[in-house]
Each structure stands twice: as C-alpha cells, then as structure tokens.
Amino acid sequence: MDSTEKKVRLLLKSVIYHYHGLDETERVDLEQTSRHLDAHRELQWALDFVAEDYITAFDRARTYLNDIIGDYPKPKRIDLINMAWQSNNLKGYVTEMEATAMLKLARDWNVEKELIDLVMR
C-alpha cells in the first residue's frame, strides 16, 4: 500500500471520528491502524488536516478523497466505505451525523447501495 492510500484510509477514519469529537476508542483505533499500515507520518498528516479547521474538515476531506477515490475500482471503494462503517461500530453505535457523512461519501463514490446493504445486515 502506497503513502496516498494510507492517507486516504487514515483521513477517512479521522474525519468521520472527529465529526463529534475523537473519543478514546477511536484514538486507539487510529493508532492501531497507523501501526498496522506502518503509516505514522500519514496519521499525523490526517490529524493535522482535520485540526487545520474542524468546521470545514469534512468538506475539505470529501473533496480530497473524491479526487483520489474516484479513480479506484468499485470493489476498493466498497472496501473503504465498509472500513469506515465497521470502524465507527467499534464504539457500539454510529451517530446520525456519522451515518449521514458516510452516506454522502458513498453517494459520491457510487457505492451508496452497498453501504445501505451493509447497514441493513
């Protein structure tokens, strides 16, 4: 996995997690993901990206992610939205704001049906 894909994965998790404020479970998940991917610089980049302006972080991340993920094959786009959904379920629930954010991204990436199917399981 190259640095760009590591940034995509960590930014996706970071921006969704920060939607309501990063809690301890989410912080630990980001750190574990970073270690697993050998992506410490990419995690710091993602956290800095979000911290630059929390208010606009999702919209900026959406633009950044759409520019990159639009070229990914559909199975990879499904994998990314699935990763975001599963990660958010670590705490036992997904807030309405988080679900809405993921639906927006799924719609952008043309994998909305797949996300809905995942949610319904």
Q: What is the pLDDT of residues 21-77, one digit of tens each?
A: 888 999 999 999 999 999 999 999 999 999 999 999 999 999 999 999 988 999 999
CB 114 within 8 A of CB 78: yes
The two tokens of residue 16 are: 């969704």
CB 117 within 8 A of CB 49: no
Q: How many domains, in total, are found in the chain? A: 1
Quickly count: other Cβ atoms within 10 Å of residue 44's Cβ. 12
CB 102 within 8 A of CB 48: no
Residue 61 C-beta-side C-alpha neighbours within 13 Å: 31
Q: What is the pLDDT of residues 83-101, one digit of tens each?
A: 999 988 887 888 888 889 9
Cα–Cα dist 85/55, whole Å: 22
55 lies in which domain range?
3-120
pLDDT for the residue numbered 3: 95
CB 43 within 8 A of CB 30: yes
